[in-house]
Structure formats: C-alpha cells, structure tokens
A and B are shown apart, each in its own frame.
Chain A
Amino acid sequence: MANVLVFIDNPGDALKKSNLELLTLGRSLGETAVALNGELHDGVAATLAEYGAGKILRPSAQDLDDYLVAPKAAYLAAAAAETGAGTVLLDNSPEGKEIAARLGVRLNAGVITDVVAVDADGTAHKSVLAGSYNTAAKATTAVSVLTVKANNVTPEPSAVPSAPETVIVEVPADSTAAAARVTERRQKVASGRPDLTDARIVVAGGRGLDGDFGPVEQLADALGAAVGASRAATDAGWISHDAQVGQTGKTVSPQLYISAGISGAIQQKAGMQTAKVIVAVNKDAESPVFEIADFGIIGDLFDVLPQATEEIKRRKG
C-alpha cells in the first residue's frame, strides 16, 4: 500500500476537525504516518491511534516556529524520505500552502492546492477561476504534495486502531540559515465565533451596513455563524481585514452564505459562489447578487436581519 504522510502543526491539547479530515483522507489513500510539529499531548496521541496513524514523526529541533516555513519544509522533506511517502497532505492555510510549495521543490514533487477530494489513483479535484470551473489534476512526479480544504471529508476513526511508534526526524542543521525569523508574535483576541474559512454558515455585510455591523453580528450569533465582509466594508475600516471575503480576501464554501448589503460585484462572488445555499438581502433590486441567490430579499437589512434574528431565537426557544 502507498505511504501517506500527514502534516499536523502545533495541535495543542486536541486535534482540530481539519486534522481529522486529513487523517481520514490519508487512510483512504494508503498507510498513514503523521509528521507532527510541537508538543505531543496524550489526548492527541490517543486520537492519532484511533485514526490509524502507523507512525508519529517528531522533529529533532524545537524552534521551527521561530522561523517562517523554510525549516518546517526541510523537516517534512526529511520525514517524507523517512516514511517513503508517495503523498504528503497538508492543510490549505496560507502557511500550509507555503510549506507545500517549498517541500515540492525539495522533493521534486508536484503540488496541488485547494484540493476538495482525492481519488484512489491520486487524482485531485479542485475548483478554479473563482469557482467557475471544476478541474481534476494529478502530479506527474513520484511524490505528490496536496493541500486540502477543510470541510470536504467526514472524519471517521479507523475500524482498526493503531499503536503508532514515535520516531524523531533529524531537521537539517542548515534549514534556518536562509529563513526569516519571527521576532514578535501577538495573539489576537478570539471572537468566540467559528473560523471564517471553515465555518458551516457565514453572514457577511457590505456597504449597505453603513458602518454598523451589529445586525450582521447578531444574526451570525443566533445561527452560530462566522462574520464576513465585502472589501468595501473592510476598506472603510468597519471591520477587520481578516473578515474580507472575495478575490483579494478569503474564499469560503459554507453550507449557507447570507449576504447583507453587498451588491455582489464579481470580486465578491469570486469568494463565495461555491456556497451550497446563498441568501441575499439588499435594498437595490438591481444588485448582481440577486442573480446567484437561492433566496433573495429586496428590503432594508436593518428591518430584515433583526426580525430574522428574533425569529430564530424564538424558534430555538
């Protein structure tokens, strides 16, 4: 069976859902090993066994987080060699993609990003040009490196749990020589809302909010949703740039996307048109967003959103 290497970066006390998705996908492709960076807590070790990881690799160096990606790529290249991996799976975060990029050059391996599914023969499926095409691509090299988008695989523990051995992998000593060093890192205050890119529901606001994100945030909280924004709203400084959905922001693919006060210019559509269900609320009946909405409301979001929020609270009791 093919060997698959799954990269898990700093899991903390428990694995994230996206980690479990990678482990589940990996198992469908072959014998999985995990290259871990950071502490290995007991709970994580137990979950890795539950998900059938055959081996847990850990780096010889503890300072990989002090540099930008280069030493992590060097570690993963060594881990891939150690396990004879034919496929390396990483998450699709900006950092995951960069590690994949450098790893690809190190291993002479084709890299495919934004993957949503992988066939048994290694063919990877993704959507390109802002969701207007679905493509299938395959690495032509002995090893393939794939970064996989969250929420496309249902995590399932292995039918046969494993008892993984832990192996230390030597990180090449020169891997930090040509790397940028992190001199300061500040954690941002957590919003308590789900992460925008992985959220099942996104409520997004735009120019029509006129500076007041309150109605969007309240509806999001009633639905357990993440808050997104158009570029107009982030450029105006009404909400952090992190919330921007669109071509120059984040691409989201939730079950439900509620667009409020956003006209739906093509750059916005680019970030959200693969959402399963799109709801739009806008005063302007001519807004392009109505062309793609499954349910559109021509109306004032300051009336519609609070009414919907109250109704959801009432029904949820």
Chain B
Amino acid sequence: MKIIVLVKHVPDAQFDRHLNGEGYTTDRSESILSELDEYALEAALQLAEARGGSKAGNQVIALSMGPSGAVNAVKKSLQMGATEGVHLTDDALAGSDAAATSLAIAAAIRHLGADAPVDLVLTGMASTDGETSLVPAQLAERLGLPQVTFASSLEVDGGRLTARRDADTYSETVEAPLPAVVSVTDQINEPRYPNFKGIIAAKRKTITTLSLSDIGVDPAQVGHAGSWTRVTSAEERPPRTAGTIITDEGDAGIKLVDFLAAQKLL
C-alpha cells in the first residue's frame, strides 16, 4: 500500500499563540507536530505493518506543507516509522486558507502518485491551530475521491475500506472504495513514541523538498493571493481574570447557588 499522511507543524498549545502580520497569520515559532496528526500516522503504520511493512513494499509517506520549520513535523514522523518524508514549501504558500491549502496538497498528492498510485490519504481530525477541519473534505472534492472523516476505527481489505464513526446521536459504519481520504479521531489508536532505533533509522530516510513549480501550481492560486477568504481584523481577547475564590467552610454549595442566583443563572 502507498499511504500519504498529512502532518502539520503547529504552534504548541501549551504556550500562548499569536496572530501577526498583514494577513493575521499564525506565529509558528514554538511549533510541534500536531498532536492529532500522530493518530493518523499511527493508523498508517499499523496498516502498513499488517501488510508486511516496508520490506513488502508498503510506503508511509509523511507530507507536510509549511515554512522551513515544518520539516520538523516530517522528521518526527520518520522517527515514528514513516518510510519517507515530503516537505512542500514555497514562500508563495504563506497565508493560504483551507481552499488554497487543499489545492496545493491535492497537486502534491497527484505528483506523488505519478509513479505508483496512492491508495490512501490519512489526516488528523482537525489541525490544532486553524481547527476548521475543512482541508480533508476539500482535498477529497479536488481529487474526486470519497472522504471518510472522524473515523474511530479503520480496516482495509482488498480495494475497500470500512470505518466506524461516532456522532453525538448515532454511530455508523461506512464503506468506500480506495483510493480515499480518511481523517481519524484520537479514539482510533494510541500513537507510539519514537524509540532510539527509530530515531537512528530516521537519519537515513529521505526527505524530498517540493516547491510549487515541482507540483505545477501557479503561485497566484495559493497564499494570500489565491485564498478565497481574508482575515480583515484580529483582536486578542483580554485574558480572563480570576474572580472571587473562596475556601469551603461547609457552606460553599449554598454560596455557589447564591452566586448563580445573583448572576440570574438559576
């Protein structure tokens, strides 16, 4: 199988995150591999391993689009066990919205499928920065592929996949022919940690760098120029401040109700 996993280098949510510059783009210093993408990578590694791993010709390609630092997300993926890495990077990509991002990634996937077709594209359920979850569906639409989002289990048998999805009011099983785009939730597996062997092995793996000209995308179709939405203002919310803190002296439950009544919340 040839599986492409989309991995994103996102600002670490443990720190304050900021928007800056003309297009109010996310400041990407202090960035890490998006936690939610580790589940997609783990799912890909398990599918490949169940089929005899890389020795049997299974490929797990970690693909990241982003500025120079984004290569770190690819490196971490290689340490976890991806067989190769691809870094799509170009100054013109900066400020791409979901539509422009999906256009560039779709072109990169077509490029990577030129020699041997891609069977599966795996992603996390959302990025932990933009959090729109638009890209997997837009990618599927652009590639003309079925999409299965929020998969909490995934099996592939022959040319078909079966997945389970859990919504608030129902749980469903879906089927789709391959190739397909699948996003997975954090319920699907427990991602592995890179071990020493993995870290050493990663140093010998190839990371291919692709620019827009490599994948045949006109710079005007991506970045701020090619985006279909524009952020016109961004204001940092004042941080919440602590209010009244009390220590329970046996009547805190009553005081809580007094507070709710005073706020007209009862």
Tell me if chain B binds chain A.
yes
Binding site for B on A (CB under 8 A): 68-70, 73, 94-95, 97-98, 100-102, 104-106, 108-114, 123, 127-141, 144, 178-188, 190, 195-197, 201, 223, 241-242, 247-248, 255-256, 266-267, 270, 273, 277-279, 281, 285, 290-300, 303-312, 315-316
Residues of A within 8 A of B200 (CB): none
- Name which residue of chain B comes closest to A180, CB basis: B176
Q: Chain A nearest CB: distance from B117 CB in Å?
A: 15
Interface class of chain A by DSSP: mixed
Q: Chain B nearest CB: distance from A167 CB in Å?
A: 25
Q: Does B203 contact A (CB under 8 A)?
A: no
Q: Does B132 contact A (CB under 8 A)?
A: yes
Residues of A within 8 A of B19 (CB): 128-129, 133, 135
Question: Known contacts A279-B256, A305-B253; is A105 also within 8 Å of B246 by CB?
Answer: no
Chain B residues numbered 215-249 whose CB sits less than 8 Å from any CB in chain A? 227-237, 239-248
Query: Are A297 and B265 touching (Cβ within 8 A)?
Result: no
Query: Are B141 and A312 touching (Cβ within 8 A)?
Result: no
Residues of A within 8 A of B230 (CB): 137-140
Query: Are A182 and B172 touching (Cβ within 8 A)?
Result: yes
Question: Known contacts A104-B134, A196-B168, A295-B259; is A134 also within 8 Å of B234 by CB?
Answer: yes
Question: Known contacts A139-B228, A180-B148; is A132 also within 8 Å of B128 by CB?
Answer: no
Q: Chain B nearest CB: distance from A26 CB in Å?
A: 19
Q: Does B174 contact A (CB under 8 A)?
A: yes
Question: Known contacts A180-B146, A279-B256; is A299 also within 8 Å of B247 by CB?
Answer: yes
Query: Are B138 and A104 touching (Cβ within 8 A)?
Result: yes
Binding site for A on B (CB under 8 A): 13-14, 16-19, 24, 26, 35-36, 97-99, 102, 125, 128-138, 140-142, 144-150, 162-163, 166-176, 180, 186-187, 227-237, 239-248, 250-257, 259-261, 263, 265-266
Q: Chain B nearest CB: distance from A177 CB in Å?
A: 9
Q: Chain B nearest CB: distance from A283 CB in Å?
A: 9
Query: Are B232 and A136 touching (Cβ within 8 A)?
Result: yes
Q: Chain B nearest CB: distance from A296 CB in Å?
A: 4
Which residue of B102, B175, B229, B231 is within 8 Å of A183 (Cβ)?
Answer: B175
Q: Chain B nearest CB: distance from A40 CB in Å?
A: 21
How many Å lie between the Cα of A120 and that of B103 in the bound state?
30
Q: Chain B nearest CB: distance from A152 CB in Å?
A: 16
Query: Are A70 and B147 touching (Cβ within 8 A)?
Result: yes
Which residue of A111, A296, A305 is within 8 Å of B243 (Cβ)?
Answer: A296
- Name which residue of chain A comes closest to B187, CB basis: A241
Query: Are A140 and B137 touching (Cβ within 8 A)?
Result: no
Query: Are A248 and B265 touching (Cβ within 8 A)?
Result: no
Query: Are B172 and A101 touching (Cβ within 8 A)?
Result: no
Residues of A within 8 A of B261 (CB): 315
Q: Chain B nearest CB: distance from A302 CB in Å?
A: 11
Which residue of A104, A139, A178 is within 8 Å of B144 (Cβ)?
Answer: A178
Query: Are B13 and A293 touching (Cβ within 8 A)?
Result: no
- Name which residue of chain B comes closest to A74, CB basis: B141
Question: Known contacts A105-B138, A297-B246, A304-B248; is A134 also within 8 Å of B237 by CB?
Answer: yes
How many Å lie between the Cα of A112 and that of B251 in the bound state?
47
How many Å lie between the Cα of A147 and that of B95 in the bound state?
21
Query: Are B228 and A133 touching (Cβ within 8 A)?
Result: no
Q: Chain A nearest CB: distance from B154 CB in Å?
A: 12
Question: Known contacts A180-B174, A184-B172, A187-B169; is A110 also within 8 Å of B137 by CB?
Answer: no
Query: Are A111 and B99 touching (Cβ within 8 A)?
Result: yes
- Name which residue of chain B comes closest to A100, CB basis: B134
Q: Chain A nearest CB: distance from B185 CB in Å?
A: 8
The 7 closest A-B pairs by CB, nearest first: A307-B253, A299-B248, A110-B228, A101-B137, A180-B176, A294-B243, A110-B229
Residues of A within 8 A of B265 (CB): 201, 255-256, 277
Q: Chain A nearest CB: distance from B142 CB in Å?
A: 6
Residues of B within 8 A of A248 (CB): 35-36, 125, 128, 186
Known: A101-B136, A138-B229, A182-B172. 14 other contacts (CB 8 A): A97-B133, A101-B98, A111-B98, A112-B229, A136-B232, A144-B229, A179-B146, A180-B175, A181-B176, A183-B174, A285-B247, A291-B240, A294-B243, A308-B254
